[in-house]
């Protein structure tokens, strides 16, 4: 990797880590540059503002997580098991992050957007874009389950939105309580929202 690309990647990685573990408002450009060991002039060479860095960091974080989501929602996996694997993967990720930094951090994109959605339109729109990507994964699993007669739904996307909203609610509870316990109920709860599907997959 070229030094310039390495510097940019380091800024993206450190920014997401600091903002995720703390908050956007609590982290300054100086904090990011100091942790990344990058000069402030280099920061502004890549990003016009802290907001632009945050948007780019949200996208970079998504790209890191995408291979895991592709695996969870593989078409080769039975559709309801895809949702199960998604819940299990998220629980592991939150548990690992909690062990690393001593607190449950929740979803970085949603946490950031909740903090800034009324203040920064670029960050809000990037969060909506990422949310829609998650919903698309869930929609694919629900549509496949419906095609196999496992669930009944007239609008798979609407149901996917409900599942995603429920899951994010659990993530927020876990963050506020500083305890991953709410996520232990994610799989069973999402299957209940799918109605009769719960009897086809062990909770």
Per residue in 82-135, pLDDT tens? Answer: 999 999 999 999 999 999 999 999 999 899 999 999 999 999 999 999 999 999
List the one residue out of 87, 132, 86, 76 whose CA is nearest residue 109.
Answer: 132
In a domain, 24, yes or no: no
Instruction: Identify the sign of the CA torsion 117, 130, 36, 45.
Output: negative
Query: Do the beta carbons of residue 142 and residue 79 sit within 8 Å?
Result: yes
Q: What is the pTM of this model?
A: 0.90
In a domain, 17, yes or no: no
SS3 80: helix
In a domain, 174, yes or no: yes
Query: Do the beta carbons of residue 110 and residue 171 sit within 8 Å?
Result: yes
> What mean pLDDT is predicted for residues 18-44?
93
> Residue 122 sits in which domain range?
58-200
Where residue 168 sits, what CATH number does that domain have?
Answer: 1.10.357.10
List the one residue out of 71, 36, 79 whose CA is nearest residue 57.
Answer: 36
> Band of the pLDDT at 195, cuts 50, 70, 90?
confident
In a domain, 144, yes or no: yes
In a domain, 48, yes or no: no
Q: pLDDT value at position 2?
A: 59
In a domain, 11, yes or no: no
Average pLDDT over the chain, rounded to an integer = 92
pLDDT greater than 60 at residue 196: no
Number of domains in the chain: 1
- 43/24 Cα distance (integer angstroms): 16
CA distances to 36, 180, 181, 185 from 98, in Å = 22, 8, 12, 18
In a domain, 129, yes or no: yes
In a domain, 120, yes or no: yes
């Amino acid at each position: 990797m070229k030094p310039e690309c390495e510097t940019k990647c380091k800024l993206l990685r450190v920014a997401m880590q600091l903002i995720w573990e703390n908050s956007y408002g609590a982290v300054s450009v100086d904090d990011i540059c100091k942790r990344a060991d990058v000069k402030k002039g280099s920061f502004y060479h890549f990003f016009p503002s802290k907001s632009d860095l945050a948007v780019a960091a949200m996208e970079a974080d998504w790209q890191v997580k995408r291979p895991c989501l592709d695996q969870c929602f593989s078409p080769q996996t039975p559709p309801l098991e895809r949702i199960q694997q998604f819940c299990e993967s998220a629980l592991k990720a939150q548990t690992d992050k909690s062990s690393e930094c001593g607190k449950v951090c929740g979803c970085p994109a949603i946490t950031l957007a909740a903090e800034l959605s009324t203040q920064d339109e670029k960050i809000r729109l990037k969060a909506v874009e990422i949310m829609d990507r998650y919903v698309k994964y869930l929609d694919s699993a629900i549509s496949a389950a419906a095609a196999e007669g496992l669930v009944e739904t007239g609008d798979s996307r609407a149901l996917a939105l409900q599942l995603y909203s429920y899951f994010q609610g659990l993530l927020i509870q876990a963050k506020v309580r500083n305890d991953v316990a709410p996520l232990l109920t994610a799989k069973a709860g999402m299957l209940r929202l799918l109605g009769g599907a719960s009897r086809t997959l062990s909770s």
